[in-house]
Structure 1
């Protein structure tokens, strides 16, 4: 298998690491608009059997005009994740933030997965108004200034400036320096941001919930971006779930507490038959 390949509709898969074992771990970024480069640090700290792949949907991050992608790549979102799952054997799909929401919006994934990992994500769009409330209660003048520039001129470099300015919301003080550096070097795609805002973010509802395959659900204890309260519903309290709160961590919990994130994924790998 090549280290880089595209699915028929242009999903890009890049192999980040290869260890002994036959599992394929697919890491899907959040955002939307931010590239899978945001998950390189996660991939670096994981100690799981098999191959680790960074996944970019067509039109997301730096995957701008991949082979096979339709003229409007977002026409394939989010169900194109099924192509990624079908491209490799024994897949574990891990979605961060909005990436996890895309996975939970696609019940067709179920027969193609060995397990599912959900990082700082939510089961419905109720997280969004709470995020807005948080930003109003904790204003960042740099975000307000960068947002005004972006709204007047929605270019990629302007959405990047908004992301970097928001670092204090995404990371704890302990992780702020590393987090700001991470956000500053990411590729961003404003078209993906606009599509998700118009078509997904405010109407999202999970369309499936696995009750047999192993599921890892983790979030930073201090994540201020995606509210975790939606998971309290009884239908999500199934015995196949490993539920982990990562101590002292924000929205990218492997930045502040890589040890606990690594241990949670190792526990998931042991649950996979």
Structure 2
């Protein structure tokens, strides 16, 4: 199989690495609009059985004019994640931030995966007003200035400036330098941001919850972007789910504490293998 796979609607899967094992780990980025390049450092730090793939929906990040994509690439969002899961066997689907929300908004996914990881994400849109409150309590003048420029000229370069200016919201102090570097070299796609803002971010609620497959909910202990309190509801505390808080981690906790993230994924990978082999 090629190291790059496109589904019928233009979802792009790029193989990052491969080790012994028959699992396929699919990593869907947050944002949206930032692209799976934002997960390279995460993939680099992991030691999991099988292959790691970086996934981009059509029209997201750098996946523009994907073969097979409809004229309006967002018309297949977010349910095109099912196509990604169908493209490979023994899929463990991991979604970061909004990416995890897209997974939970797609109940058809359950029958096509053997494990799921939710990184710094939430079960419904109640995280968003809390995020707004945080930005008001901890204003960043550079973000305000960059936002004004973007609103007057909605180019991708200008939305990139907003992302870089928001570094202090996304990363704990120990990760600021690496975090700023990460955000400064990402591909940004304002059309994807607009689609999610208009159609998803404020109305999202999980449409399914895994009943049997191993599931990992992991988040940085200092994540200021996505509030984690929504997971306290009893319906999410099922026996197949592990909850892990990464000490010192921000919204991209593998930047501040890669060893903890690596260890957590390693343990989870073993539980998925046991599930598959049972």
Give the whole-Å Cα distance in 1 for the aligned partners of 2:268 and 2:109: 18
1:113-138 C-alpha deviation (Å, 9 max, x unpaired): 00000000000000000000000000
Give the secondary-structure state (helix, strand or coil) at the position aligned to 1:25.
Answer: strand
Which sections of structure 1, spanning at least 5 residues, go unmatched? Answer: none
1:219 counterpart = 2:219: yes
Give the whole-Å Cα distance in 1 for the aligned partners of 2:153 and 2:110: 40
What's the counterpart of residue 199 of structure 2? 199
* CA positional deviation for 1:47: 0.4
1:89-117 C-alpha deviation (Å, 9 max, x unpaired): 00000000000000000000001000000
Give the whole-Å Cα distance in 2 for the aligned partners of 1:5 and 1:95: 18
Give the secondary-structure state (helix, strand or coil) at the position aligned to 1:238.
Answer: coil
Give the whole-Å Cα distance in 2 for the aligned partners of 1:211 and 1:253: 27
Give the whole-Å Cα distance in 2 for the aligned partners of 1:154 and 1:92: 36
What's the counterpart of residue 269 of structure 2? 269
What's the counterpart of residue 104 of structure 1? 104
Give the whole-Å Cα distance in 1 for the aligned partners of 2:230 and 2:92: 23
Normalization by structure 2: what TM-score? Answer: 0.98
1:37-88 C-alpha deviation (Å, 9 max, x unpaired): 0000000011000000000000000001100000110000000000000000
Give the whole-Å Cα distance in 2 for the aligned partners of 1:154 and 1:214: 41
**Structure 1 residue ranges, 4+ long, deviating more than 3 angstroms after superposition:** none
**Cα RMSD (Å) of the superposition?**
0.5
Give the secondary-structure state (helix, strand or coil) at the position aligned to 1:226.
Answer: coil
* CA positional deviation for 1:241: 0.8
1:138-177 C-alpha deviation (Å, 9 max, x unpaired): 0000000000111111110011000000000000110000
* CA positional deviation for 1:211: 2.0
* CA positional deviation for 1:206: 0.2
Which sections of structure 2, spanning at least 5 residues, go unmatched? Answer: none
1:246 counterpart = 2:231: no
Give the secondary-structure state (helix, strand or coil) at the position aligned to 1:26.
Answer: strand
